[in-house]
């Protein structure tokens, strides 16, 4: 089965967790990715919530794999802000290797946030967002290059 962002939005939380668990971490990405928040996965609301968040809050991430950092693209005009360290480590979901996006030492605003991503298709990553150790939402990152 192949996956795209629309497919991820239609999947249940259990299916997203299962997919995340089946995938290897992949390489730390480099460049700009369009982001899609996956809130209320598998419901009729998921796609509309994702569009709202993309238009008004978060558009994606810009990775610098060489430096092991990223910046989030936020606000309606795509400001690059909220920096995270990027490295491989064990997932809080299943203990297997993932790519960690760690804000604890780089952001006052997001210091309690940790994201984890795994590559599910070439140029497509599935992510989990944690506030401290509590899971919040999932997200997709789509690289166009």
pLDDT in tens, 25-71: 999 999 999 999 999 998 888 888 888 888 778 999 999 999 999 99
Q: What is the pLDDT of residue 112?
A: 94
Q: What is the pLDDT of residue 64?
A: 97
End-to-end CA distance of the chain: 22
Q: What is the pLDDT of residue 145?
A: 64
- CA dist 117 and 15 (Å) reads 16
- Count of domains for the chain: 1
CATH of the domain at 30: 2.40.160
For the chain, the maximum distance between any two Cα atoms, rounded to a whole number of angstroms, is 40
The model's pLDDT over 10-34, given as tens digits with 9 standing for 90+, comes to: 999 999 999 999 999 999 999 999 9
- CA dist 138 and 81 (Å) reads 20
For 129-138, the CB contacts below 8 A with 24+ separation are 130/92, 133/92, 135/93, 137/37, 137/38, 137/39, 138/8, 138/13, 138/16, 138/20, 138/37, 138/38, 138/41
**Domain span at 89:** 5-143
């Amino acid at each position: 089965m192949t996956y795209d962002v629309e497919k991820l939005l239609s999947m249940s939380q259990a299916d997203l967790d299962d997919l995340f668990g089946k995938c290897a971490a992949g390489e730390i990405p480099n460049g700009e990715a369009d982001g899609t928040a996956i809130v209320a996965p598998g419901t009729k609301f998921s796609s509309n919530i994702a569009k709202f968040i993309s238009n008004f809050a978060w558009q994606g991430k810009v990775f610098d794999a060489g430096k092991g950092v990223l910046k989030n693209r936020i606000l309606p005009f795509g400001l690059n802000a909220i920096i995270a360290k990027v490295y491989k480590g064990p997932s809080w979901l299943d203990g297997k290797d993932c790519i960690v996006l760690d804000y604890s030492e780089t952001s006052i605003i997001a210091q309690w946030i940790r994201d984890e991503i795994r590559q599910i298709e070439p140029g497509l990553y599935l992510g989990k967002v944690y506030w401290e150790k509590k899971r919040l939402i999932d997200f997709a990152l789509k690289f166009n290059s």
